[in-house]
């Protein structure tokens, strides 16, 4: 599944201007009201209360909360050209797939309007991440965890038992070439010479990450036990950006996983603190990934 489609399934959502007609108010975020007329265009034939309706209602509420938070905390808002850029990509992907909007977006009954709404949430996420990655509190948190920003260049030898690892370590201590020993005994045959190249420390399994961050550069560390066996690790370079270097291009300095963590933490915090009301006739606000069925809140 593509990142764009994964995002659709996670947060297919909209930021709508509150309906100005006389139809029923179904939800409110602060002073912003939402009416049935805000949801009807998102479904072919109009919205019908039920699980899909409550999923979309949740996502409408979520984006309103996040838009308000961006404006209040950072003084920024999603711009039309940012939405249009994502929309063009989504329309091209839809055409290439040969699917209907509902098939492509993974929910029955969705209309083509959902493509624009999804483009908006993608633009919102991009904008939020840009602001978050430069936020002093977020930056301090990232630099407090060396693994998130440290690049490790390393080789390893992986064997099944600690005794085999000790024997390989003795050969290395006696002066044998690391790559030659790795090619002879390592279970990791996918990486000739044990070469793993350079990657952010968090790209590795936790045991390897911890050892690679603690190892003396140029010296063999281990044996290090993991679910895969026992590793001998040779870190030949380890670098980390300064805060100035990081701030020049934050996205290039952290993994997608760390970036997603920054977004998710902010998203959950803002949704958890939001002032939200949902009409009991249509559901109950719980802060979860869907508006709960009526009577279950």
| CATH number of the CATH domain containing 78 | 1.10.4030
**Helix H or strand E segment including 287:** none
Is the N-terminal amide bond of 262 cis, ω within 30° of 0?
A: no
Specify whether 218 is located in the same domain as 129: no
Chain centroid, CA 266 distance in Å:
12
Tell me if 290 sits within 8 A of 58, measured CB to CB: yes
Express as a percent the part of the chain with pLDDT over 90: 74
On whether both 12 and 156 belong to a single domain, the answer is no
**pLDDT tens digit sequence for 163-182:** 999 999 999 999 999 999 99
Question: For residue 116, is pLDDT > 70?
Answer: yes
Residues 26 and 87 in one domain: yes
Contacts 24+ apart (CB under 8 A), 188-191: 188/156, 188/157, 188/158
User: Same structural domain for residues 18 and 126?
Assistant: yes
User: Quick one: 229 and 122 in the same domain?
Assistant: no
Report the sign of the C-alpha dihedral through residues 137, 141, 144, 147, in that order. Answer: negative
pLDDT in tens, 212-228: 999 999 999 999 999 99
Range of the domain at 45: 3-142+251-278
Q: Flag whether 293 is in a domain.
A: no
Identify whether 92 is part of a domain.
yes
Same domain, 65 and 88: yes
Number of domains in the chain: 2
Q: List the single range of 2-11, 77-86, 233-242, 283-292 with lowest mean pLDDT.
A: 2-11
pTM of the predicted model, to two decimals?
0.76
Give mean pLDDT, residues 267-280.
Answer: 92
Any idea how long the chain is? 297
| pLDDT value of position 2 | 44
Query: Which of 10-19, 35-44, 275-284 shows the lowest per-residue confidence on average (mean pLDDT)?
Result: 10-19
Pairwise CA distance, residues 44 & 29, whole Å:
26
pLDDT exceeds 90 at position 147? no
Q: Is residue 296 part of a domain?
A: no
């Amino acid at each position: 599944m593509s990142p764009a489609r994964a995002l659709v399934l996670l947060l297919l959502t909209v930021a709508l201007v509150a309906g100005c007609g006389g139809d029923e108010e179904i939800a409110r975020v602060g002073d912003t009201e939402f009416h049935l007329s805000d949801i009807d265009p998102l479904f072919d034939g109009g919205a019908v209360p039920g699980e899909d309706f409550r999923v979309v209602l949740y996502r409408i509420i979520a984006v309103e909360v996040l838009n308000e938070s961006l404006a209040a905390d950072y003084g920024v808002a999603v711009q039309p050209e940012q939405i249009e850029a994502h929309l063009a990509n989504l329309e091209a992907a839809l055409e290439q797939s040969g699917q209907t909007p509902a098939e492509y977006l993974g929910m029955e009954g969705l209309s083509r309007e959902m493509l624009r709404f999804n483009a908006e949430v993608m633009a919102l996420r991009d904008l939020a991440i840009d602001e978050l990655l430069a936020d002093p509190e977020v930056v301090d948190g990232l630099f407090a965890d060396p693994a998130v920003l440290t690049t490790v260049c390393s080789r390893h030898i992986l064997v099944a038992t600690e005794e085999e690892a000790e024997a390989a370590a003795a050969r290395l201590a006696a002066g044998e070439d690391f790559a030659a020993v790795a090619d002879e005994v390592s279970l990791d045959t996918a990486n000739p010479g044990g070469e793993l190249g350079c990657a952010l420390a968090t790209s590795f399994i936790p045991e390897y990450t911890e050892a690679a961050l603690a190892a003396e550069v140029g010296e063999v560390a281990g044996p290090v036990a993991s679910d895969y066996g026992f590793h001998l690790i040779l870190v030949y370079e380890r670098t980390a950006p300064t805060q100035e270097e990081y701030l020049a291009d934050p996205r290039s300095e952290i993994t997608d996983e760390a970036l997603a963590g920054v977004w998710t933490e902010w998203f959950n915090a803002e949704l958890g603190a939001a002032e939200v009301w949902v009409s009991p006739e249509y559901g109950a606000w719980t802060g979860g990934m869907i508006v709960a069925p009526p009577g279950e809140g």
